[in-house]
Structure 1
């Protein structure tokens, strides 16, 4: 089971590390898009969210308080789904469909992050292949 969880952590974290580094390296472009969605202080918010998901992704990947890392990712995903992918505001059917897909993706990933938080917090050090045990204990 340890190896399966490790593979899952690697695959899960890869998405956030790529996205987080894009937030940090293409800040102006991503902040421009965020501002069209009504995000206040779009540039600092883009930098902050990039740092948040890089930190969360690294924590999950390396197994350093991976439960906290999963919580950080969930804390990014749920507001992002609502603010950035508000499909219900779109009048164009194609744009509405595209935003609905992105909304559902973020909600599903947020749910997966919560499951990862629960798994790591419950299993504790029994999971293995982590650098630290969990920060939280929900057993």
Structure 2
């Protein structure tokens, strides 16, 4: 499985690295297509610039950077999620087949749209891959359950010690009473 990961991650990342580099070199070539998606995104996310060309450059830089990280196996889950996030606006802007009237172009865009959905699925699988180890959520649940059981056992043990010491105190008090003068 490790060999498969070492081969699959670079293959999955290659389309993002090459496409991101191409768009970084010439962001104006896709800015027109990106405009209908870029405006609503920048309006909803205040930290993003409202300049479409800058948004295209940011998206391309994310694709190149996260693609390199994924290909090299560095932060693979985070990089896969970053690529997935960058793929959604790219797909909506670049392959809006439902807006195309010409049949051949519509079919071509549907194929590209579907290909990107497949890439998104691969990225989501890569983001969920724990390399054969249980997920952090699972490990947290197991640790919490073990902690509760340990606390319960400790509580029972403490209760037994307290009860035992209380019995000792009662016995000692009884012995003292026997030696006290009655009066």
Smaller-chain TM-score bracket: 0.7 to 0.9
4+ runs deviating over 6 angstroms: none
Give yes or no for the alignment of 1:137 onto 2:128: no
TM-score by length of 2: 0.62
Is the 8 Å Cα contact of residues 37 and 92 (structure 2) preserved in structure 1? no
Following superposition, the deviation at residue 137 of structure 1 comes to 3.1
Partners of 1:33 and 1:83 in 2: CA distance: 6
- Aligned partner of residue 91 in structure 1, secondary structure: coil
**Of 108, 120, 123, which residue of structure 2 is paired with 1:98?**
108
Following superposition, the deviation at residue 49 of structure 1 comes to 0.7
Q: Which has the higher contact order (CA 8 A, sep 6+)?
A: 1
Structure showing greater Rg? 2
Task: Identify unmatched segments of 5+ residues in structure 2.
Answer: 40-50, 139-183
Match of 2:86 in 1: 76
User: Closer, same or farther in 2 for the Cα pair 1:59/1:38, shift >3 Å?
Assistant: closer
Following superposition, the deviation at residue 2 of structure 1 comes to 1.4
Following superposition, the deviation at residue 29 of structure 1 comes to 2.1
Following superposition, the deviation at residue 102 of structure 1 comes to 1.1
Partners of 1:75 and 1:47 in 2: CA distance: 15
CA RMSD of aligned residues (A): 2.0
* Aligned 1:52-67 pairs, distance under 5 A: 52-67=62-77
Partners of 1:111 and 1:138 in 2: CA distance: 22
- Aligned partner of residue 24 in structure 1, secondary structure: helix
User: Closer, same or farther in 2 for the Cα pair 1:5/1:108, shift >3 Å?
Assistant: same
Is the 8 Å Cα contact of residues 12 and 122 (structure 2) preserved in structure 1? no
Q: Would you say how many aligned residue pairs link Structure 1 and Structure 2?
A: 126
